[in-house]
Amino acid sequence: MPQFNQSRRRFLKHSVVAGVSTYVASLASPSFAALFEQDILSPTAQAWRPGTGMKFRLDGIAKVTGSKVFARDIRARDMPHWPDTQAHAFIIRATRCDRRYQGIDLSALEAAGLAPDRVVTAEDMARDNIQVPEYYGPAFFLPAGETPLYLGYPVALCIYHDFARFAVAKARVRAAEDVVVYGEQTPLPEKPPYGAFRYIRVGGDTPYAPDRFSALQETVLYPDFRKRHPVWPQALENGKDSQRAMYHANQLAEQLDMPPDDWLVFEAEYQTPYIDHFAMEADNANCWFDAEAGDMHLVCGSQSPAELVERMAELHSASTFASGRLFLHPTYTVGYGSKDNSIFPYYGLIAGLYGDGHPVRLANDRYEQFQATMKRHPFTIRNRLAVERETGKFQIFKQNLTANGGGRANFSNSVAFVGATAAQGIYYMPNSDLTATAEFSRMPEAGSMRGYGTIQTMAATELMVDEIADHLDMDPFELRLANVFKSGMKNTQGAIPAGHLRGEEILHRARQHEIWTQRAARKQAFEADHPEQRYGVGFACVQKDFGHGAEGVFSEVRLNADGSIEVRNTGAEMGTGYSTSQAAVVAQWLGQPANTVHTAETEWDDLAMTSSGNPYVMSQSEQEAAQTDPRWTPMLQQASSASNSSYYLSFPTIEAARVIFRHGLWPVALEYWQRGIGGGQAAPYVVREQDARWEQGKLTANGMEPLSLAFLAERAHATGRVTGAMAHAFNRWEWSRADYRIDGTSENLPLDGLAVRYGDGASQQKKARMTSKRGFELLTRSNPYFPPTQRNNAGVTYYSACATLVELAVHTGTGEVSLLNHHSFLECGNTIVEELVSGQLQGGLAMGIGHALYEDMPLYEDGPGNGTWNINRYHVPRASEVAVWEQSADILPPLSRTDPPKGIAEVVMIPVVGAIGNGIAHAIGHHFHRLPITPERIREVL
Amino acid sequence: MSTTDPIVSKPLHVTVNGIEQPVEDIPEQLMMLDYLNEYRNLTGTRFGCGIGVCRACTVIVDHEDGRSEEIRTCITGAHYFEGKSIRTVEGHATRDENGDVAKLSEVQQQFLDHFSFQCSYCAPGFVNAATVLVERLQREPVPRSQLEATISDALESHLCRCTGYVRYFRAVRAAVLATPGTTVEG
């Protein structure tokens, strides 16, 4: 075993959690070549094209040459200080929920000389006091004598010290039916719902008038449960907010039950599919427990490394294993949500604890991945929508949805709530009553997945709108335009969304597109040429939130004396090009992209920030008391999910770069331009900071001599100006703010934590203040403003819009649907790297096509929990099924160069679902309510 | 469960990316993917499905007559490759004396320029499939009008979950068109 040279490591201590010191490996550490982010990322200079941006992804060369990028690629031998004796592990799972689990029988393995070197079960967990983090619910392993709560519940972990025996044993266990031993029959498991929510809104006389009642103004309803059924408050017109809510709900229900003659009340139930992420890197972790030192080392990909560090330290500390330090090595990965707060890495940690000194690799094969990892929540959605026949104006929208969360809680409440608050799509709903319930079932757990409840509800809304248009004999665009949500209107929670909403603009653009204008002629021609097929055109448009509702983000930007730029940030690279876009966003203020980028950083001790309470549910008084501590924030770090990278995770990076510009570069530029007799070249002109522009990598303003970043950086350093900034930002549907005194100047910034670093030539007085670990001066904020806690009830304020037109053909004999062409419209503010945005759009469309036409599984005994599912029976769309050569898109130009970049990773996959359903209705005259629309379901109709 | 079939190993002779690999005893049951990943630490060839459907595990087998073909290593035993020469994704680029990438292959460069992949887990399979296609078209050019269909046929079986294939396909078209002799008029 190679000697581990402590001095060679440059781990950064994260914090002490429950007595365990936690560290995140500096990915720049020379001792971690295998995880060496700078080996993965190409030099920015090669990729940057002044004026137009990035020529290629910074991680592109590493990725296209098969370098070690993923945790899946890492073996013990790649870790310089680890023993190179790589052990391997797999999990045995129970696949029946109708019988008591008795134990496992490995006698056949033992007879074949394939006995595991270590078997880990619930008994080990109990003896060694290894407790599952509360967030995840039931225990890691099912104890003998109990009935599994869900299909695929882990019962044992088998560890092998060599690969060959591991591989053969794993294959045999897969083929065997007698390894898991069951006993007597028991009732199927039942539990109360995970939670329920109800959003009621009664609008004022106009969309812009004050609401009569709304969640933002008054309250969201959270019911009690009796015998697994929600119990809502008593309805009282002048009672408490919750009682008034029910009064309004009853009033709305009465109107829907006894509508005026000129109303159409449309009712339908929609069912959505049970979908696997099919992230191609299946879950895996490689862990080494150094028992002698009490050190746990863990390599894995995660969208939420901060959560891992904290919960793992707590788990380890509470166990009987010696615990001193936890080293986490986050890697680039891919997930679409599946690696956000996943329980899987904890099984990796357990494998490491029982590895007898060997690093243990736990890596799902695809069957295990289908069996065990989070899925998209299947929804049942009951919609009622009242429409005034004459005008097509929507009057009352009532929705009652249930989200099947499976057997282990994971974001199910959140998914249900987000789904409900997105259900209105691009439409203004004057009155609404939205109920969302997240339910337990014996299905393998559902959790975070791209679309996060909104693809379920918004696709249903778009299917519903076209069907209503048919009922009213209205053009579907006319119906949409009659109800489209306009800037300044209020959403179903009573909140006014951020900025200008462009759904109406997209509707007008789409209506003029040739796919729509020529649909009648094309249908006639196509069906004449293909008498066995029916041609259809469908359209759908949505606007989707981005962000979690509570975002905490750290970022650091440093400008070196040679003009090179370094960025550190909390976001994880999930394949979306995050590392590339983080490099690019600083160019707005610094004229060129960052030379180095470090992602998934969790150590931010310099800012000394603390947090307490739950940002989503804390009271206003609790927040006001806490914010008197100038280091307090409602949330330290959020995961990389909910389409939050381009806007939220970039936000403090951009702000930090702005601080360097305003307090470092601009002053020295001005000094240079003003030097000489009579005020120099600046004097004849009026030179203002707002005229500053970076052109071809050089700074100019109102005709001043262009200056390179290297020139300015050298002077900023020489004069001891601000050359580095570390920032924390918090957002609760708006940003927190505070005043800061920066190098003698006061400024109000949308940040709740800030530290700055001065150049090499700073005075001794300034240098004496640069006392933080990384050599920053920690500033103390004043006059802090935090978004009121009531704003949690807004549900959503940030939206981006997307629409898709599809041309398709339905074979009347087979029921198969062929996608002939599609065109999308996307509104995303200013793009950071346009190629990454359009790539997200194209990928999202493919995933949406799968949702609409192909992807689904049985929920229970015949479903993935039984361990027999793989992509031979789960259909992921192929190139021929996405109109790969024909498809096209328009990315709307921003309103101006000052538009923020908007999160679009999820919205892009949604409209194509509704568009396909509506296209099929156009083709064969039937509006489907259940997805996917399979050939079998079409044949039933035909 | 069978109680027989102990692990039987035998020597494997294989050339990977032009280098004869050290001969060692390899279990007969072992798939080529496991050999590359676990014994050679060449992890660019990736496990996707384990049943030969997704093609992330594709490598190129180079035959002595100059032909090449794609082989799925997750369903093909390591010993099938006895005496054979293969190319993996790690072997396409030209590297300098330090092992650093000096020049990408045409296919790799086009994938890079087109932002073809996101997570890149599938990229090794696409690199190998597209390379086999370009080399085949050099031997057997197709009319330009049939190029898109030819690319579709060649890459249809490769799965990508991130990018919807569009940028891969456009990049392969660019790679073919940048390679002399791959298409003819028509």
B148:A64 CB<8 A: no
A607 in Cβ contact with A65 (< 8 Å): no
pLDDT at A636 over 90: yes
Domain B9-91 CATH class label? alpha beta
Q: For A215-365, where are the alpha helices, taking DSSP H only?
A: 241-257, 305-318, 344-353
Q: What CATH number is attached to the domain comprising A167? A: 3.90.1170.50
Same domain for A138 and A226, yes or no, is no
The secondary structure of A553-603 as a DSSP string is EEEEEEE-TTS-EEEEES----SSSHHHHHHHHTHHHHSS--SEEE-S---
CA-based nearest residue in chain A for residue B91: A65
pLDDT band at A601 (very low <50, low <70, confident <90, very high): confident
- Find chain B residues with C-beta within 8 A of A847's C-beta: 161, 164
Tokens 């049951």 — which residue?
Answer: B29
Which sign, positive or negative, has the C-alpha torsion A824, A830, A834, A836? Answer: negative
- How far apart CA A904 and CA A506 sit, in angstroms, is 15
pLDDT band at A780 (very low <50, low <70, confident <90, very high): very high
Q: E-strand spans in B14-157?
A: 15-16, 19-20, 24-27, 58-62, 68-72, 85-87, 94-95, 101-103, 142-143
Q: Which of A332, A363, A394 is the last residue of a domain?
A: A363
A288 in Cβ contact with A359 (< 8 Å): yes
A281:B38 CB<8 A: no
pLDDT at A3 over 50: no
Model pLDDT, residue A738: 98
CA-based nearest residue in chain B for residue A845: B164
Give the burial class of A935: count Cβ atoms within 10 A of its Cβ; 0-12 exposed, 13-18 middle, 19 or more buried. middle
CA-based nearest residue in chain B for residue A176: B1
* Element (DSSP H or E) covering residue B28: none
Tokens 């070249």 — which residue?
Answer: A681
Mean pLDDT over A6-11 rounds to: 34
**Amino acid at residue number A170:** K
A188 in Cβ contact with A442 (< 8 Å): yes
Give the pLDDT confidence of A88-107 residue by residue, as tens digits.
Answer: 999 999 999 999 999 999 99
In a domain, residue A203? The reply is yes
> 3-class SS at A81?
coil
pLDDT at A39 over 70: no
Q: What angle do CA A24, A29, A34 make, to 5 degrees?
A: 90
- Find chain B residues with C-beta within 8 A of A72's C-beta: 43, 46-47
Provide the residue range defining the domain that includes A268.
Answer: 196-274+376-547+796-941
Query: Mean pLDDT across chain A, nearest whole number?
Result: 93
Same domain for A829 and A724, yes or no, is no
Nearest to A179 by CA among A233, A111, A106: A106
Mean pLDDT over A54-63 rounds to: 92
- How far apart CA A252 and CA A432 sit, in angstroms, is 8
Same domain for A673 and A654, yes or no, is yes
Fold observed for domain B94-181? DNA polymerase; domain 1 (1.10.150)
Q: What backbone torsions phi and psi does residue A326 show, to the nearest 5 degrees?
A: -125, 120
- How far apart CA A767 and CA A749 sit, in angstroms, is 24
Q: Is A112 on the interface with B (CB under 8 A)?
A: yes
In a domain, residue A60? The reply is no
pLDDT band at A6 (very low <50, low <70, confident <90, very high): very low
The secondary structure of A378-430 as a DSSP string is PEEEEEEEEEETTT--EEEEEEEEEEE-TTS-SSHHHHHHHHHHHTTTTB--S
How far does B66 lie from chain A, in Å, by closest CA?
A: 23
In a domain, residue A839? The reply is yes
Same domain for A427 and A572, yes or no, is no
Residues of chain B where predicted confidence (pLDDT) is lower than 70: 1-6
Q: Which of A786, A806, A821 is the last residue of a domain?
A: A786
- How far apart CA A24 and CA A620 sit, in angstroms, is 34
- How far apart CA A226 and CA A802 sit, in angstroms, is 41
Q: What are the b/e assignments for A258-295, b being 16+ CB within 10 Å?
A: ebeeebebbebebebbbbbbbbbbbbbbbbbbbeeebb
How far does B181 lie from chain A, in Å, by closest CA?
A: 23
How far does A791 lie from chain B, in Å, by closest CA?
A: 34
Same domain for A388 and A409, yes or no, is yes
* Residue B102, both tokens: 């000096």
Nearest to A275 by CA among A107, A502, A38, A450: A450
* Residue A74, both tokens: 């890492």
Label the pairing between strands A53-54 and A48-49. Answer: antiparallel
Q: Residue A768's CB: how many other CB atoms inside 10 A?
A: 10
A363 in Cβ contact with A71 (< 8 Å): no
pLDDT at A201 over 60: yes
- Among candidates A843, A870, A872 on the partner chain, residue whose Cβ is nearest the Cβ of B163: A843
Model pLDDT, residue A330: 87
Query: Mean pLDDT across chain B, nearest whole number?
Result: 96
Q: What CATH number is attached to the domain comprising A463? A: 3.30.365.10
- C-alpha distance from residue A246 to each of A217, A431, A723 (Å): 15, 13, 56
A786 in Cβ contact with A753 (< 8 Å): no
pLDDT at A641 over 60: yes
pLDDT at A30 over 80: no
> 3-class SS at A713?
helix
Same domain for A433 and A580, yes or no, is no
A334:B118 CB<8 A: yes
- Among candidates B30, B112, B118 on the partner chain, residue whose Cβ is nearest the Cβ of A56: B112
Q: Where are the domains of chain B?
A: 9-91, 94-181
In a domain, residue A23? The reply is no
Same domain for A662 and A773, yes or no, is yes
Mean pLDDT over A188-194 rounds to: 95
- How far apart CA A430 and CA A483 sit, in angstroms, is 10
Mean pLDDT over A146-154 rounds to: 98
A181 in Cβ contact with A104 (< 8 Å): yes
Give the pLDDT confidence of B101-115 residue by residue, as tens digits.
Answer: 999 999 999 999 999
Q: Is A822 on the interface with B (CB under 8 A)?
A: no
- How far apart CA B132 and CA B62 sit, in angstroms, is 10
Q: Is A299 on the interface with B (CB under 8 A)?
A: no
- How far apart CA A106 and CA A109 sit, in angstroms, is 5
How far does B115 lie from chain A, in Å, by closest CA?
A: 6
Mean pLDDT over A47-76 rounds to: 90
B115:A72 CB<8 A: no
Share of chain A above pLDDT 70, in %: 97
Give the pLDDT confidence of A103-142 residue by residue, as tens digits.
Answer: 999 999 999 999 999 999 999 999 999 999 999 989 999 9
pLDDT at A35 over 90: no
Cα torsion A581, A584, A589, A590 to 10°: value is: 140
- A144: DSSP letter: T
A334:B2 CB<8 A: no
In a domain, residue A290? The reply is no
- A854: DSSP letter: I
Nearest to B77 by CA among B48, B56, B57: B57
Question: Is the pLDDT higher at A37 or at A546?
Answer: A546
Model pLDDT, residue A20: 76
Q: Which of A315, A337, A363 is the last residue of a domain?
A: A363
Q: How many domains does chain A fold into? A: 3
- Find chain B residues with C-beta within 8 A of A576's C-beta: 118
> 3-class SS at A175?
helix
- How far apart CA A522 and CA A514 sit, in angstroms, is 10
Q: In what order do the strands lie in the sheet with A195-202?
A: A195-202, A431-439, A394-404, A379-388, A263-271
How far does B174 lie from chain A, in Å, by closest CA?
A: 13
Nearest to A869 by CA among A271, A249, A328, A174: A174
Same domain for A769 and A807, yes or no, is no
Same domain for A773 and A724, yes or no, is yes
pLDDT at A34 over 80: no
Model pLDDT, residue A4: 31
Beta bridge partners of A200: A433
Q: What backbone torsions phi and psi does residue A739 show, to the nearest 5 degrees?
A: -90, 140
- How far apart CA A362 and CA A360 sit, in angstroms, is 6
Q: E-strand spans in A480-621?
A: 533-545, 551-559, 565-569, 596-598, 610-611
pLDDT band at A679 (very low <50, low <70, confident <90, very high): very high
Give the pLDDT confidence of A534-554 residue by residue, as tens digits.
Answer: 999 999 999 998 999 999 999
Model pLDDT, residue B6: 66
- How far apart CA A209 and CA A776 sit, in angstroms, is 49
**Amino acid at residue number A635:** M
- How far apart CA A675 and CA A664 sit, in angstroms, is 17
In a domain, residue A39? The reply is no
Bond prior to A932 in cis (omega within 30° of 0): yes
A570 in Cβ contact with A543 (< 8 Å): no
How far does B128 lie from chain A, in Å, by closest CA?
A: 11
- A232: DSSP letter: P
A607 in Cβ contact with A725 (< 8 Å): no
Model pLDDT, residue A698: 95
- Find chain A residues with C-beta within 8 A of B59's C-beta: none
**Amino acid at residue number A802:** C
- How far apart CA A661 and CA A679 sit, in angstroms, is 22
Same domain for A213 and A147, yes or no, is no
B90:A65 CB<8 A: yes
In a domain, residue A875? The reply is yes
- How far apart CA B57 and CA A887 sit, in angstroms, is 28
- How far apart CA A416 and CA A452 sit, in angstroms, is 8
Model pLDDT, residue A37: 58
**Amino acid at residue number A124:** D
Tokens 């200008």 — which residue?
Answer: A500
In a domain, residue A631? The reply is yes
Same domain for A860 and A841, yes or no, is yes
Same domain for A470 and A398, yes or no, is yes
How far does A439 lie from chain B, in Å, by closest CA?
A: 29
- Whether this model's pTM surpasses 0.90: yes
- Among candidates B5, B49, B118 on the partner chain, residue whose Cβ is nearest the Cβ of A112: B5
Nearest to A112 by CA among A179, A51, A16, A27: A179
